[in-house]
A and B are shown apart, each in its own frame.
Chain A
Amino acid sequence: MTDTASDDPSRHSDTAPGAEFGEEDVGEGFRAYVMGLALASLLTVASFITVKFHFVYAPAIPVALFTFAIAQMGVHLVFFLHITTGPDNINNSMALAFGVLIVFLLMGGSLWIMSHLNGNMQLMNPYMQMHEMHMQQASPDQPDQQLMPPLPPDRQPAGKAPQP
């Protein structure tokens, strides 16, 4: 590895750090791995410190963690896996983009659907909470208490006369 290689203005810039080198350029590959290790360690330590010492505004901590994680995945992709958009690598990048799309559909879709499901379940909540309240009030010596006690008169649905 000579210094002239990196100073060469005609050097192509579309190769990943450490991806393409001849036998005499192994030092460059080594430097790429060292830089990847340094950046990844920095981001990992940042994540753990953020959680451990709470020096970030508390509601922003998850956002900070996701930022660090995505940045670290990018560092791994570039410095360790050597994914680029170079001519020999464009298929890999397209496959990665497709993979990311599927991952986002799968995770986002699951969370979206399940949160809506939870939301729909919560529509029943006023009635269910009251039911649970009545169940708690029931003393243990009344085992044959009605499963679903009648609603109080002021909460009866419209059009139904209150029960005597």
Chain B
Amino acid sequence: MTSGTAALPSGGAKRRHDPNRLGHLSGGQGTSRASGHGTGGPAPKRIVVGYGFWLFILSDIVMFSAFFASYAVLHNGTDGGPDGRELFDLGNTAVETGCLLLSSFTCGLASLAVIVRRKLAFYAAMAVTGLLGATFIGLEANEFAGLVMKGDGPDRSAFLSSFFSLVGLHGIHVSIGLLWLLTMMAQVFAKGFRSDINRRVMCFALFWHALDIVWVALFTVVYLMGVLA
């Protein structure tokens, strides 16, 4: 698995008829290559790596769910302080959401650029992804700073403690994702589209898309429901 194309699907024409090499078609096209189907043999490394990283993402989501649970339990504990309706600015949240959603899309474009081996398109898509992610972090930091300046920091009430922990945890994840993004751009620059680098880019894309899923839950539960309450 050292050649450049080994980790990615190849042989388009055959794949189109029997993408998983099941050999179940009427013409008996292709031999079974899918893992767990007898003659298939071990799964390609791309599948194994993706599965392992998917397990990590799920455990990360379980951690997030603990923070969500504490927020759900504590969100009424305002201790006479401000609640979500007074603090949250939905316009800011909408811009943050748009940034993250668009960055998820451009991250997908970067994955496509890896498949067609176009370096320039890859750098451009990753750069836009990074800029949108940085905008998101900037808006969130601005919101946090504004809250702390008003005296509504995490020490104000149980509600604000759980709010800062939950949203801050997501922000830390996005920040780490930005560092990872820059690392992947540097690695592709230095080492090219090697199959191991391609798998790392795939893991980064999984991570970035998963963060967007967490943000969907977050803006729904924290911001939209908080403004309703």
Contact = CB atoms under 8 A, between A and B. Distances in A.
Interface of A: 5, 8, 10-12, 14-15, 18, 20-26, 29-30, 33-34, 36-37, 40-41, 44, 47-48, 50-52, 61-62, 65-66, 68-69, 72-73, 76-77, 80-81, 86-88, 90-92, 95-96, 98-99, 102-103, 106-107, 109-111, 114
B73 A30 contact: no
Interface in B93-110: 94, 97-98, 101-102, 104-105, 108-109
B90 A48 contact: yes
Interface of B: 9-13, 15-20, 22, 25-27, 29, 34-37, 43-44, 47, 50-51, 54-55, 58-59, 61-62, 65-66, 68-70, 72-73, 90, 94, 97-98, 101-102, 104-105, 108-109, 111-112, 115-116, 206, 209-210, 212-213, 216-217, 219-221, 224-225, 227-228
B222 to A, nearest CB: 11
Contacts of A92: 50-51, 54
A11 B17 contact: yes
Nearest to B10: A22
A10 B206 contact: no
Contacts of B36: 87, 90
A14 B215 CA distance: 28
B55 to A, nearest CB: 6
Nearest to A48: B94
B112 to A, nearest CB: 5
B62 A87 contact: no
A30 B12 CA distance: 16
B70 A110 contact: yes
Nearest to B221: A69
A110 B16 contact: no
Contacts of B209: 76, 80-81
A10 B104 CA distance: 32
B47 A23 contact: no
The 9 A-B pairs at the shortest CB distance, nearest first, are namely A22-B12, A99-B58, A110-B69, A87-B34, A33-B108, A69-B220, A103-B65, A80-B209, A37-B105
Contacts of A95: 51, 54-55, 58
Contacts of B20: 12, 14-15, 20, 86-88
Contact of A22 (B11, B34, B225): B11
A92 B57 CA distance: 11
Contacts of A40: 101, 104
A110 B105 contact: no
Contacts of B50: 92
B22 to A, nearest CB: 7
Nearest to B22: A87
Contacts of B47: 88
A90 B47 CA distance: 11
B152 to A, nearest CB: 21
Given A47-B220, A80-B212, A91 B112 contact: no
Nearest to B97: A44
Given A12-B19, A72-B216, A95-B51, A103 B108 contact: no
Nearest to A109: B69
A88 to B, nearest CB: 5
B54 A23 contact: no
B220 A65 contact: yes
